[in-house]
A and B are shown apart, each in its own frame.
Chain A
Amino acid sequence: MKSFLLAALALSLFACQSKEEILHEQYVIEGRIQYENNCANCHQSNGQGLRNLYPAISKSTLSAPELARLIKQGRKSATGYMPANPKLQAIDIAEIITFMRHEWGKNEQTFSFDSTRIVLKGIN
């Protein structure tokens, strides 16, 4: 009986942990696809950009909320131009940022759908 309970406990612990991990992994996998389709064209698959024309986002120092807004709204400045991505939804952007953290930030924290939604509130 005791060992059965122990096994069940271990199993549930394992299951709990992997549920979060699975979610994170899903974000990373989806994010990679979204990145390839929407970002890699300019910033390249390896995130290194192209000389001074397209910045290396693998070295970006922007915070996740700043990134989310930049992806959605784009930017026009004296030094360059990045198109807006009105078609990308909060979930897509959450996945992209989670992927970027994983790939180049050595950061395995999920930037969640909810956080992204809050950050993008009021932006279409």
Chain B
Amino acid sequence: MPHKLIYLVSFALLVFSCTQDKKLPYLGKHETRVVDGKTDTVYHQIPPFKFLNQDSVWVSEKDMAGKIYIADFFFTSCPTICPKMKTQLVRLYERYADNDQIRILSHTIDPAFDRPYVLKKYANRLQVQAPRWNMVTGDKQAIYTLGEKSYMVTAQEDKNEVGGFVHSGAFILVDKQRHIRGIYDGTKEDEVNHLIEDLEILLKTN
């Protein structure tokens, strides 16, 4: 029966298309490099960094080696979007409580106020701990530059803004090689659901 065959083929196709893995993009500028006559694509990568966390311990890119991490920018006295972001990050922290491959890296954009001991109090009240959730502070310009140039999000001082800083509510999904694989609105629950879906893909492939 030709009819049956068509059904069978289309069904097989459907199954096949369903089982094909969704691949995550590499965000940021790609560069091509020619090595020994072969062209190589170099993806945008988060450069080395070094900041102090809530326990006054240095955190660098070496601590993220072999980890998938979610980065964000905030400040502890932020009255606007940070509470929403932190609500979502707590959800992620709880969800992956037993997964040592996943880290959260929150950068303060108000390092003058958010010293390690301030971050410590904040982390304690959120009942979260390093190294699974590092809240880091350091040189202001270094943080702003890293945010804008490397994580591709807005982070600036702005006296006109409530709280004194303007920053994006983005969560940046970074893979084990420090390539950016997704950027999500951390103030929205359904956007963070997408992040979780992508994170699951990354866990299987990265």
Interface of A toward B, CB cutoff 8 Å: 41-42, 44, 50-54, 80-81, 83
Contact = CB atoms under 8 A, between A and B. Distances in A.
A81 B6 CA distance: 67
A54 B74 CA distance: 16
Interface residues of B, number: 15
B203 to A, nearest CB: 26
Given A53-B122, A81-B77, A83-B79, A44 B87 contact: yes
Nearest 8 A/B pairs, CB to CB: A52-B125, A42-B83, A83-B79, A53-B125, A41-B83, A51-B127, A53-B126, A51-B126
Contacts of A52: 124-127
Given A50-B87, A53-B86, A80-B125, 13 more contacts: A41-B80, A41-B81, A41-B83, A42-B83, A50-B83, A50-B86, A50-B90, A50-B126, A51-B127, A52-B127, A53-B125, A53-B126, A83-B79
A73 B84 CA distance: 22
A52 B86 CA distance: 12
20 contacts: A41-B79, A41-B81, A41-B83, A44-B87, A50-B86, A50-B87, A51-B90, A51-B125, A51-B126, A52-B124, A52-B125, A52-B126, A52-B127, A53-B86, A53-B122, A53-B125, A53-B126, A81-B77, A83-B79, A83-B162
A51 B90 CA distance: 9
B35 to A, nearest CB: 49
A81 B86 CA distance: 16
A42 B81 CA distance: 9
A81 B79 CA distance: 10
A51 B127 CA distance: 7
A105 B124 CA distance: 29
A88 to B, nearest CB: 13
A50 B188 CA distance: 16
A41 B90 CA distance: 15
Interface in B122-165: 122, 124-127, 162
Contacts of A81: 77
A111 to B, nearest CB: 24
A41 B126 contact: no
A41 B163 CA distance: 14
A122 B125 CA distance: 34
Contact of A41 (B84, B122, B127): B84
Contacts of A51: 90, 125-127
A81 B125 CA distance: 12
A103 B84 CA distance: 22
B28 to A, nearest CB: 31
A80 B79 CA distance: 12
Contacts of B122: 53
Task: Kindly name the residue among A44, A52, A53, A81 whose own CB sees the greatest number of chain B CB atoms within 10 A.
Answer: A53
